[in-house]
């Protein structure tokens, strides 16, 4: 079930679950636009699509006029998506800007790979929010738009996202992340009608809360036994 985080006659922000495609595709699997049409028929244009495996806030225009205004705002850097990711390992840094050029759609699996010679310019800001030893919770802000940019940059930095089957070990039986632990936590954008900056926060999926609780418990036990 889709959760509306904000809604008016010009735009919606919805909390997309893991496993739901953002855009229509050729296969029979459901997608976000299809589910929105089922809720309320009419015009729908997804402005900030997420990877199928990711979750979180997605900005959707309800009119062609809102779509044009929001697209222009995004091209001007006025639409910001802030991700939270649960990554493997304990980064040696608190803040870092990842800027390795990336080349998308490589090989049979269509992965995005670090390629300083042939890759596209890509910049991603990362900040550690919480450390657990085996994992870390990080805030990620992509400053450019390359397919799978966040996943590929974190993988190239040596800290793949937990539960990522394409850029990491994938879900592990009994592990904390049975799905991709990448969540569009916050959106900031100018409202196309009122002009004011709109901040919207997407709650974590329930399994995220359970994973973080387990990691905090594991960290507390490790400290007690040290």
Task: Please give the positions annotated as active site.
Answer: 51
Nearest to 175 by CA among 220, 140, 207, 131: 207
Taking CA atoms, 129 is separated from 95, 126, 165, 181, 210, in Å, by: 10, 9, 24, 15, 17
Instruction: Tell me how far apart the alpha carbons of residues 33 and 132 are, in angstroms, rounded to a whole number.
Output: 37
The residue assigned the tokens 């959707």 is 60
Q: Cα–Cα distance between 52 and 111 in angstroms, integer? A: 14
State the Cα–Cα distance between residues 78 and 87, nearest whole angstrom. 27
């Amino acid at each position: 079930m889709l959760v509306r985080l904000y809604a008016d006659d010009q735009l919606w922000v919805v909390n997309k679950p893991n496993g739901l495609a953002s855009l229509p595709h050729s296969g029979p699997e459901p997608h976000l636009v299809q589910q929105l049409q089922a809720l309320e028929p009419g015009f729908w244009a997804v402005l900030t699509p997420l990877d199928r495996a990711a979750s979180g806030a997605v900005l959707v225009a309800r009119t062609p006029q809102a779509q044009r205004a929001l697209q222009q705002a995004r091209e001007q850097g006025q639409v910001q998506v802030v991700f939270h990711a649960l990554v493997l390992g304990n980064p040696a840094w608190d803040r870092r800007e990842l800027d390795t050029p990336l080349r998308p759609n490589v090989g049979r699996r269509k992965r995005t790979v670090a390629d300083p010679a042939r890759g596209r310019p890509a910049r991603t800001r990362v900040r550690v929010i919480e450390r657990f030893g085996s994992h870390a919770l990080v805030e990620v802000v992509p400053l450019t738009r390359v397919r799978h940019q966040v996943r590929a940059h974190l993988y190239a930095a040596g800290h793949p996202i937990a539960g990522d089957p394409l850029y990491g070990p994938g879900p592990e039986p009994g592990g904390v992340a049975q799905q991709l632990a990448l969540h569009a936590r916050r959106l900031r954008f100018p409202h196309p009608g009122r002009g004011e900056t709109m901040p919207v926060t997407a709650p974590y999926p329930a399994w995220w809360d359970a994973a973080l609780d387990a990691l905090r418990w594991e960290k507390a036990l490790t400290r007690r036994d040290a």
